[in-house]
Structure 1
């Protein structure tokens, strides 16, 4: 997955430059480029699953009858997961849209931060979720609990370090987004709230997928 992500990044940068600057498609070109990059990554992962020797023992033919029969078992598990991911991203988008109806919309949307700590915890949560699923499949529930504890500990350490650094640099961090003093002062005032959001996001990003993986066998039994 690391190599496919690097290949996708190398594919996305020139494609995005082509659509945005060379063909002058603007933001629409950026959206189209990210869509192409997503499908390019899906293609690479599909080829890896189909031809890699690492997946030889677990590879299935998508045209076998047991694959379609297992949809009934996977659907009760996939639906809550999809809803959880959609609600998470819709929350971000709704907040940005609501900022447009505030008294100073340009000022409200200027300090729109995307923190690396959140991306780190999302990646950590995805990796830990896979580990938890593997341990549950092997019947080792203690190892699954240990994986959740380790992921949560690392995530909380990241939350503390990130929020502390942001709070200490709250007087100057606004200059990373704008040279306007009004924007810098505004970000200084909202930094305590952002630190609180970092802590809550780090917890949610790790536990959302792991708790779902840990309780998925129970959910499957209840669905039947």
Structure 2
């Protein structure tokens, strides 16, 4: 009798223990979800609205003329993506540095890292100027249509102020995001998009300023959020992490440059992948329709990509914060939560875009031929959207942990040694045209996703904590270690 009672008591205790463990897991997931969405929600909204600026511009330019639309698509997808890849990639070094420093409570270093990134990105922007000044001869050399190349040369000059806006927008967003203070970025981006719609209508439709009106409104839309973010940071919005301009920003730049180059290589190779797709399409028959249809698909794909990039930023912040704090287990758990969240959204959008097919094309064009071409590409668009729900998030994990150089090698192999050659064979040798090129590129992305999943799964997170600790303490200012030290503040 006594043994039966004892057994009964043990069963009850074990049962309650399992229930308690389940409750603890649910509480842990909910807590991580809140931390994730505090960063992800404003980041997704910001990227939606920022990407929306380009889409709104394309919609207005598309109704000016087919040549203008093709030229805008070429500049935005080839040159702007090229420059965007370099600057965003180099700025993502700031995500690693600020995220890990913030997690380690080295708050005074964040402002120094921000200023160092400004210096590195300004130099990089100046180096990119010849691409936008000599656009027409470059595109003709690449075999693009003469009329489209000439119009692209005009549009590219309007993009020069936009390139310099990226220096501040990328770095300030990452600086604020690392502290989970990116709500202000979302508010400013929403305001900017609303003003862009109004000014585009005013200058293109009402005042009949054509291309100049559309591009003038675009420049304003990119710069307005920068002034707001700078005002927020410089006027007391980040009292712990912004201590004023400092001479220390000009010292010890080489380690930041090296990490920036690794980050730039990682993201550039990723963002340029679609650029190769457009360039290959430009050599086909009826290139104008093909480029227009493909650019519309890539724009729709880009909308969804903004969700994934929001999760990329959130994954980077969560992983870097936890590694900087010294918690390997929490970093690993945050990876699982962010991947599952992004994948669930990707599945819903995959089904939705399979059903919509080419109907969305008429938002961008009046041409039935282009709309039909978009309809044919829609299944590939849906599958691309599904893959985009996982792959960028894993890149965010890499940024948070500081693996940028490893992922750069993975990107070269999977994209350019696997995806592009298969796409060329399917598109040209087997006559599948744009569909064949896109299938090849998708296969490269699929292989890359599998490799990143394997790397993430096999990672020794305790070792990553040690590496984060070494990185933070290697680049910390002597003043932050000594409370009585000087920070060489200028302002």
Q: TM-score with structure 2 length normalisation?
A: 0.39
Aligned equivalent of 2:280: 98
Contact 1:110 1:177 (C-alpha < 8 Å) held by counterparts: no
Contact 1:19 1:30 (C-alpha < 8 Å) held by counterparts: yes
Tell me how far 1:42 sits from its aligned partner: 1.8
1:200 equivalent in alignment to 2:383? no
Higher relative contact order, chain-length normalized (CA < 8 Å, sep 6+): 2
Distance 1:25 1:87 in 2: 37
Q: Where does structure 2 lack aligned partners over 5 or more consecutive residues?
A: 1-184, 404-463, 472-491
Q: How does 1:123-138 map to 2 (within 5 A)?
A: 123-138=310-325
Aligned equivalent of 1:121: 308
Distance 1:33 1:46 in 2: 21
1:58 equivalent in alignment to 2:245? no
Q: Where does structure 1 lack aligned partners over 5 or more consecutive residues?
A: none
Q: Deviations over 1:142-169 (max 9, x none)?
A: 2222222222112211222212222234
1:166 maps to which of 353, 357, 364:
353
Distance 1:104-1:32 versus aligned 2 partners, 3 A rule: same
The aligned length equals 220
Tell me how far 1:57 sits from its aligned partner: 1.0
Distance 1:41 1:62 in 2: 21
Distance 2:218 2:362 in 1: 28
Aligned equivalent of 1:146: 333
Distance 1:78 1:96 in 2: 27
2:226 maps to which of 29, 38, 42:
42
Task: Give the superposed CA RMSD.
Answer: 3.2
Tell me how far 1:30 sits from its aligned partner: 3.0
Aligned equivalent of 2:197: 13
Contact 1:132 1:144 (C-alpha < 8 Å) held by counterparts: yes
Tell me how far 1:86 sits from its aligned partner: 3.4
Contact 2:354 2:379 (C-alpha < 8 Å) held by counterparts: yes
Tell me how far 1:190 sits from its aligned partner: 2.6
Larger radius of gyration: 2
Distance 2:243 2:368 in 1: 59
Q: TM-score with structure 1 length normalisation?
A: 0.78
